[in-house]
Each structure stands twice: as structure tokens, then as C-alpha cells.
A and B are shown apart, each in its own frame.
Chain A
Amino acid sequence: MPTVGIKRDLLFKALGRTYTDEEFDELCFEFGLELDEITSEKEIVSREQGDTKASDASDVILYKIDVPANRYDLLCLEGLVRGLQVFKNKLEAPRYRRISPVNGDPQKLIITKETAAVRPFAVAAVLRNITFTQERYDSFIELQEKLHQNICRKRSLVAIGTHDLDTISGPFTYTAKPPGDISFKPLNQTKEYTATELMSLYKTDSHLRHYLHIIEDKPVYPIIYDSNGIVLSMPPIINGDHSKITLQTKNVFIECTATDLTKAKIVLDMMVTMFSEYCSQPFTKEKLSGEFINRKVGINESTEKIAQLLTRMCLLSRATGVGDEIEVEIPPTRSDVIHACDIMEDAAIAYGFNNITRTTPRAYTVANQFPLNKLTELLRQDLAAAGFTEALNFALCSEEDIADKLGKKISETRAAHISNPKTAEFQVARTTLLPGLLKTIAANRKMPLPLKLFEVSDVVLKDETKDVGARNSRRFCAVYYNKSPGFEVIHGLLDRTMQLLEVKSARGEGYHIQAADDSTFFPGRCAEIIVRGKTVGRLGVLHPDVINRFELTMPCSAMEIDIEPFL
């Protein structure tokens, strides 16, 4: 969820009144925003860099407001104020229209086919007769940055370039060239660089280095020229210095280059609607029925009232008079409206979620437990009653935990591997519950002996027969840790478990154990557990090497079985 920092006094000035922090918090809540923090630049700098650095910072009160991820139109002061003012019936929903320049043709951006190899889309617009103040300018830059970080996915989907139109002349060309063939003076630099040089220059730039990867490996880089061959920008990395905007800029040329055309259009719409009264796209109109909204929300309002509710959400609406039909204008700022249900939600917000009468669904249903979970729940109770304490370990672990430390090879484990673990703790999904229990003991060595632990939970195994190529397996694992191995204790727990599961001690239809070799266990101290002729798990005394690798010092016996055969 993006957070917008806005100067409180500026906000109140724009809203035409002041609020207490509580009142403003309440307003945000109703509208679906969250007043996350009340702070100041001074406080932020002081927190991040210490008090000495903070002494010069401004102590103007800042509101940090969390904005829903789909409402790009609320990412700046202008949009936020507009939304709140309309919501409070203080302002009419704005209408946007496109106008042609007073003299001459519209500007053109020509896209060449070379761009297809790197960044195939571009859209552009012009904002005319803008008057920037320092605050508006800051807000303009801030909005660009917010859009870059959110909908633009850190410039990978869309990159925005803004230029002083009066320093350049159209038509403009969006093309792509090999990096060696591109040379220009980039923003805030004093000399020209080739694109290749720029890429190495920005390697150390704390901000720009994050975007280099987007085009770095491409044979050609995207580039925008004006009719005189002046470079406007090399998207998505940097603009040219020549056309940079200043407080004195009157006419702004905005270009958005993209790998996703829909997103590029949304971003361009946001830029122009937030900062101008002109817009390149007319609004669209949708029709829906008042009954639809009443039925979905669970209210009973007149068609006219619903139209009023929607208008308060910047969706200018009117009852057409044909039945309960409502005509809704969707401004370009509201790219999130793609279905009637999005309009329905705005009606519900304007009505106030908390004003809706709470009702109860009438459907008669009979509850059922998932049989495997039912068995698990019942078994756990009785395992605790048998004197064992339940542990709860992570389903993810390192390869070492399930292989090396247990004296196994990772290739024998049928483990599912994670491709992007941030640390070794998340390399694989566990294939056995044993390592988790041993780590729990290691972390609790100060506790009095014996330690008797169990866990009934899922492990993950690769399985070609499943659509995703893997499945869970519900396991029961128990360990006994004491000065003596206590094989008989674990064996006794197995006997008790079988008693609980109504399996008799017998070969054939019952259960029995028989000696087995397993590198996790001490030689001659491991047995397979065979139930109705099938091996369901093992028990035994752990190998001293295993005990050492888990940083334990005492003998330990353990058992682990698959409980799904007992369903």
C-alpha cells in the first residue's frame, strides 16, 4: 500500500478547513484511507540519521497517509484533496476535456519499429499554461516518483519523462539505437556521455542503479529525440538536461514509454488529470441499474439517491428516468473502474459501510471436518496425554537440515526446491519433521530432562502424479531426549499410537517393526514400522553424528510415520 506524505497545513488550506488529528483520521477511515503517521521532516531525518542532521530540517507537520494500491488518483495532494472534497459534497466531480492548441497542430510522437526489441509502447501529452509554485512543482515530481514506484513497477512497466516544451520542438521521435550510438548531456550533468558510459556512471548512483537492469542487456536502448535531434530522454533511465522543467516552465511535454500499453495510458492520464484542466481522453459513460447496487450492497435507496452517492465519489451520475437506470461518467482518473462491481463499491463507501444494516445469510449448511485434519486433531490430544509436548516448526528449512545433518544426500530426499530464497533457511520445503524437533531441543537445552516432543504436521514431497508436481504428506514425528536413549519410550509411544488407531500388534493385518538400515540412526538401533504390510515410517536411536550436527549432547530416540494410511 503506497504511503503519501503531505504537509498538513497545505492540505487543510486546500480542504478549506482545519481538522483535529482525530477528525481527520475519521474522515480517512470513512473514505478508505489510513492516517498512518503524524510526523515532520525533522522527525524523519532525526530517526534515520540522528539528531545533529535533523537540526536544519523543517518541522512542518506531515501527514503520512496510506492509499489503496489501485487508487493512483490519490497519490498526490491535488488528487487527494479533490477526492475528499467531492466526497464531502464540497466540490463537484471534475470533468476533463481535451483542447487543441490555439495555433497550430497537436504535437506528434512518432514511434519507430526498432523500439519493439526493447520497450515497444509510448504515449504522450502536453500540459499548457501551467503555473508552478515550489509546492506544486514538488508535488508534480513526487507524483511521478509515486507512480514510478507503484503502477510503473519501478519503471519496468512504464517510465515517465517530463520536459519543458518551449525548449524543444516537435514532432518527436521514439526510437531505439545501440548504446554506442547514443550520446547526450543527461540531467544535471555538465558534459555529454554515450549510453554505454552512462550505464557505468550510474552503477554507483544510489537511485538510478536500480533501473539499469531494465535495458542493460538489450542490444538497443530506447531514446527520444526532438525534430532537431535533441535528446529528450533515454527511458527508463534518465532525461536529457536540455529540456528539464523548472519553476518557470509554462508548457510541459509528458511522455510515457512502456512495456504495457494499458498501464502507460493510465499513468499518462494520472499525470495530466492531476495537473491540468486539459486531458487527452474524454471520459467514458457506463449505465447500470439502481437495483443492482441495492441488491449487492444490501440497502434500499432510490435511484436518485444512489446517483448522488456515486457523484460524491467523483463518478458524476444521474438517474436517466428510464426505470432505475443510472448513467455514470467514469473520469480518466478512475482507471480502477473496470466492472459494475467497482461502481457498486463506491456507492457502498459513500453510503458508509458502517451504516449498512448487518444481516445473516440464510443458507442451511451442514459442517464437515476435513478427515485428515479430524484425525490429526484427535491424535494430537492423545499424544499430549501420553506425556509428549507439541512443537510447531517451519515447513521451510535449509537443504542441510533435511540432508547432510541427517546423514542423507539431498538427491535422495524428493524435496521441492525454492528458486529465490533470501537466506538458507528457506531453500527447501521440509521432507521430514525430525530436523525441526531436533532444533527445538537444541534451542531448549536448559529445560529439565527428559525432553519429550512431538509434531503432527505436513511435509512436502515431489510427486509427478499431481498437477503441480508435488504433494503434502501428513506426518507424526516424536523424539525422546535424555541421558539414556530411551528406545523403549519411543517404542512404547508407537505401541500407544497404534492402540489409538486400532491397529493390533501382529504381522499381516496388524503392525510390527523390523530391523532396517538408515544413515540417520545408530547402526543396529533402527527399525521400520510396517502396518498392514506397508512401511509407514521408522523409529530408532539417532546416530551420534546426527546428534552432534544438531548441536545436541545426549542420546536421543525418534520415530516418524505417515498418518495418511490410517484415514
Chain B
Amino acid sequence: VPPTISQHEMDHLLMADSGVVETLLQRIEKADDGVDSLNVAASLGVDHQVIVGAVKSLQALGDIISADLRSSKHWELTVEGSEIAEQGSHEARVFSSIPLEGLAQSELMKLSFGKIGFSKAMSNKWIRVDKTQEGGPRIFRAVENIEDQVREKLLQVQKGNFSQLDEKEKNELKKRKLLSEVTVKSYWITKGSSFSTTITKQETELTPEMIATGSWKEKKFKPYNFEAMGVAPDCGHLHPLMKVRTQFRQIFLEMGFTEMPTNNFIESSFWNFDSLFQPQQHPARDQHDTFFLSDPALAHEFPQDYLERVKKVHSEGGFGSQGYKYDWKIEEAQKNILRTHTTAVSARMLYKLAQQKFTPVKYFSIDRVFRNETLDATHLAEFHQIEGVVADYGLTLGDLMGILHQFFTKLGITKLRFKPAYNPYTEPSMEVFSYHEGLKKWVEVGNSGVFRPEMLLPMGLPEDVSVIAWGLSLERPTMIKYGINNIRELVGHKVNLQMVYDGPICRLDS
């Protein structure tokens, strides 16, 4: 059986038996079509393992030799067989222990080989028994000389000359438990592409000294194990959600959108709801859906003219609208909340825009929003909203769908369709669906719409300016991108840092 031999053992063998290695190389050089490791061992009179060790160490040096593992049937002497090879067969020993005057059968049987040797010698007709003798039967030689074929055959086997024996003979010896058949693995060794009869010690690594002296040119280098993993670099990592955020920012910037300042988590109900024409009894303004603040509880500063116009459009209508016809209260508008959408910032930006001479704008933001909602595997009390807004003269629903198509194409999503939906501050409102190839169905990927005139006109924007907008969450595409099912593994302190360490770069369109 070929050994699995450790590097250490191999080095040891190589050192101890460099003579063997050299002899082996010389043998290979002389042989036309290669040598068998077993034969080499037999002819050198060394253990086969020594040759195997030499083969292994030569292999480690590169392409000096090529060694193919093969297995062959092989006959070996048993312990009894070895004894016979040394001392003769039992029957031969019986023959030679009988003197000319014969030997009492009882004496013969006392010998260790007596019993078996007697019957074999009898059947070979080498001896005869005279039962008429005094003192019991007596054994005499029947021939003058014998030829101990069993021993001869075993000696042949011992020398490795199995072919001298035919199958019948081998099987007979096997039956007598003098031979046993074993499978032996050996190497068929031939010259490698860089065969040489002299070997040099292999170097593990290139050193500055070798480079300086040029000695590397003469050295042989130990080959690398390219199956092993490398050493992980000592580095920091960006958070996957932030990597995706960077890509979305990039997409908006590529499309000419300017980033809105969304660094104000606390917002008044006025900017978060009222300015968006969201009525004061709307369920989103419930304690169940929105985080209200106890400190600072109220906002205290509003653009007064604008506030009056907002109040009027809610309670009485105007700007072509019937309004909601209810008693609009400043107290409700003053209530501070954690913003429920970044659209509160869009409202501030559009109001600011309306105070200047109008020029078309494209705005975007990606930032946190807060909902006092029931939490589950995909919903948290805070998440990131991605929002895009375009304001220009005469924008159409076709423009909104066109720009959404461009935006989603950059995310690698090209199959879009739009479903009518309801949203208090956009009309029309459209849910954006994309065809998910994996799930084989249409899934919602965002929301969009045209801001209502009741929102825009009180701000002071020109009547023929339309504002189109869309939004989506950052978490959902990130969870899909990185195959995360539980949002808590992605966002918050329960994050799995290993996931952060192992995260790939983010290319949304591939």
C-alpha cells in the first residue's frame, strides 16, 4: 500500500537516502520506458517504502519525474512459506532426517515437521514404511536423491520471479498456505519534462538577498499549493445598506438630480402632512402610525401667509378644489413628530423654490423616516426612504413613467407596469410594479404620482408647473440584493457583522 507521507518524513527520507534518490534517477535515465518502483526496491534490496519516499520527494521538486500510481497482484510467502524457503519443505526435511538404516516411525513423528512431511514424502514415493521391523514400523529412504521443488518454487517467489510458476502451482502453494496473494501499489516512473539526475535543495520563498545577488536564477522553488485559501486582509468594511445607498445616490446624480438636505428627523405636522394636503383626520396622523414628540412638543414658526393658504385649501377649498371642508386647526399642524416620509423635506424645498423665479428642478433624497408601526421580519420603526422629485412646466403622467423607466433601468429593472393607487397628496397616483424573474410574478417596487394642485398652488408655484415624484424604500432592494430575510440582520445593533465582513461590492444593475 503506498504511503501517505508527511513533508517532514519526506525531507527526512530525502536526507537519509539521497543515495537512493540518485540511484533511482540513474535507473530512470537508463530505462527506455520507465521503471517500476517495486522492481527498483527489489533490485536495490531496500524496502519499497524507501523508493516511494524518494518518488514523493522528487515529485515535490517539480517536473523532474512523472510517476503513475498502479496496482498489481503480487505473491508473497507466508510465515510457513518463508520457513520452507529457508529450511526446505517438510517432506524434504523428513527425507533428509532419515539415515540409511532407517528411523522408527515413532521417532519421526516427534519431529516438528514429521507428521505433514511424512504423508507428503509418502505420496512423493521418497520413503517407504517397513511394518515388520522389531520395535514398531520403521521408515526407510525409497530413493537416493530428491529434488525439493516446493522449496525451489518458494525461493523463486521470494526473489519476485512470479512468472516462473504457473497458476496451478501457485494455487496449490496457496492451498498449502505457503503463498498468499496481495495487491501491491507501485509507481511507474518515467522522466519528467525537466528530468535531471542531479537535484538541488528547493527554496520556499524568494528573498531580498536572492534578488540582490541574482541567486534566484540558480534556485529551484518549492511549488505553491494553489488549492489553499489566502490570508484574509486586515481591513474595515462598509455596511451593505450604505453601499446600496451610495449606488442610489450615484444613479440620481447621473440623472442630474440635486440632493435635498434631509438632516432633520423632527418635523412639524404642518410640513409633514398639512402642506401635503393630507387632512388632519387622516389615519396616518394617528398615534398608532406616527411618533409624536412630548419635548419639543410643538413647532413655533411657520411662513404665516403660506400657513393661511394651507388652512384655506383644507377647510374651504380654492385653487380649483372643493377642499376637505373641515375645521382646520393650527394646534394639529404645530404638533412635532418624527417625520413619516422625506416628502416633508420635498415640501419645504418646493415652498422655497416657489419663493424664487421658477426654474425647473430635479431633487432627490435618501434618508431615514419613522413609523410607529407593528414590527415584523420586514418592517422596522425606522427605514430609509428614497425619493425623487421633478418640477417643471407641463410635465405629464407619461413623463413620470418615462423617468421611472430610466431610473429603474439603472437598477437593472426594465419590465415595469403601473397600477392606479391612492395617496392623499398625489393625483394621479401609481404603484410601480416590476416583473420578478425569480418569483415569476409582478412585485411592487415603488410608489409614484403627480403632486396635487392643492399642495403646489398654495406654495405659490406657477399654475402650469407640475411636480412628479416617486419613492421606494432602501431596505427592500438591499434585502433582495444581499439575500437577507430578516431586516434585523441588516439594520440595527443585531446586525450580523460576519455578513458585513463578507459582503460583496454593490452593482445594482448586474
Contact = CB atoms under 8 A, between A and B. Distances in A.
Contact of A344 (B401, B424, B428): B428
A251 interface: no
Contacts of B306: none
B454 interface: yes
Specify the main secondary structure of chain B where it touches its partner: mixed
B420 A32 contact: yes
Most buried by A among B300, B405, B497: B497
Interface of B: 234-239, 241-242, 246, 249, 252-268, 281, 283, 287, 291-302, 317, 320-326, 336, 338, 360-362, 368, 370, 372, 380-382, 390, 392, 394-399, 401-403, 405-406, 417-422, 424, 427-430, 442, 450, 452-454, 466, 468, 491-498, 500-501
Given A345-B428, A353-B397, A262 B326 contact: yes
A470 B264 CA distance: 8
A338 B322 contact: yes
Contact of B390 (A363, A418, A420): A363
A422 B370 CA distance: 13
Interface stretch (A159-167, A229-237, A385-393): A385-393
A135 interface: no
B495 A392 contact: yes
Given A386-B236, A392-B492, A417-B293, A467 B301 contact: yes
Contacts of A425: 381
Contacts of B263: 370, 372, 458, 471-472, 474
A275 to B, nearest CB: 24
A199 interface: no
A448 B480 CA distance: 28
B419 A34 contact: yes
B236 A472 contact: no
Interface string A121-163: 0000000000000000000000000000000010001000000
B294 A298 contact: no
Contacts of B402: 358-361
A231 B293 CA distance: 43
A426 B291 contact: yes
Interface in A40-74: 68-71
B398 A298 contact: yes
Given A348-B428, A418-B291, A470-B296, 8 more contacts: A157-B281, A263-B281, A339-B322, A369-B258, A392-B495, A394-B382, A467-B301, A468-B264
Most buried by B among A367, A388, A421: A367
Contact of A472 (B257, B265, B390): B265
Interface stretch (A111-119, A189-197, A319-327, A439-447): A439-447
B298 to A, nearest CB: 8
A395 interface: yes
A381 B317 CA distance: 50
Contact of A68 (B298, B361, B421): B421
A3 B302 CA distance: 38
A381 B450 CA distance: 37
A390 B257 contact: no
A462 B252 CA distance: 32
Contacts, number: 290
A296 B236 contact: no
Interface in A439-497: 439-440, 442-444, 447, 451-452, 454, 458, 460, 462, 466-472, 474
Given A262-B325, A372-B263, A422-B372, A339 B427 contact: yes
Contact of A390 (B238, B262, B324): B238
5 contacts: A68-B422, A153-B283, A365-B361, A368-B258, A470-B293
Contact of B398 (A297, A387, A422): A297
B503 to A, nearest CB: 10
Contact of A420 (B260, B292, B394, B501): B292
A377 B419 contact: no
A262 to B, nearest CB: 4
A357 B283 contact: no
B378 to A, nearest CB: 16
A460 B291 contact: no
B399 A470 contact: no
Contact of A393 (B301, B493, B500): B493
A24 interface: no
Given A297-B396, A360-B402, A426-B291, A338 B241 contact: no
A356 B401 contact: yes
A460 B237 contact: no
Nearest to A440: B493
Contacts of B234: 387
Nearest to B252: A367
A298 B390 CA distance: 16
B495 A440 contact: yes
A34 B302 CA distance: 40
B396 A296 contact: yes
A419 B238 contact: no
Contacts of B401: 353, 356, 358
Nearest to B336: A468
A416 interface: yes
A250 to B, nearest CB: 34
A201 interface: no
B418 A395 contact: no
B493 A295 contact: no
Contacts of B338: 396, 418, 429
B497 A348 contact: no
Contacts of A426: 291, 372, 381
A344 B452 CA distance: 11
A34 B453 CA distance: 27
B394 A384 contact: no
A391 B495 contact: yes
Given A368-B259, A468-B267, A356 B398 contact: yes
A34 B264 CA distance: 35
A362 B398 CA distance: 12
A322 B464 CA distance: 23
Contacts of A373: 249, 259
B405 A358 contact: yes
Given A360-B403, A384-B236, A436 B427 contact: no
Nearest to B401: A358
Contacts of B238: 380-381, 384, 390
A300 to B, nearest CB: 11
Contact of A69 (B254, B403, B422): B422
Nearest to B263: A472
B326 A32 contact: no
Contacts of A392: 239, 241-242, 491-492, 495
A354 B326 contact: no
Contacts of B491: 392, 394
Contact of A341 (B259, B287, B317, B450): B450
A338 B397 contact: no
Given A357-B398, A367-B257, A380 B493 contact: no
A432 to B, nearest CB: 14
B440 to A, nearest CB: 12
Nearest to B364: A367
A358 B398 contact: yes
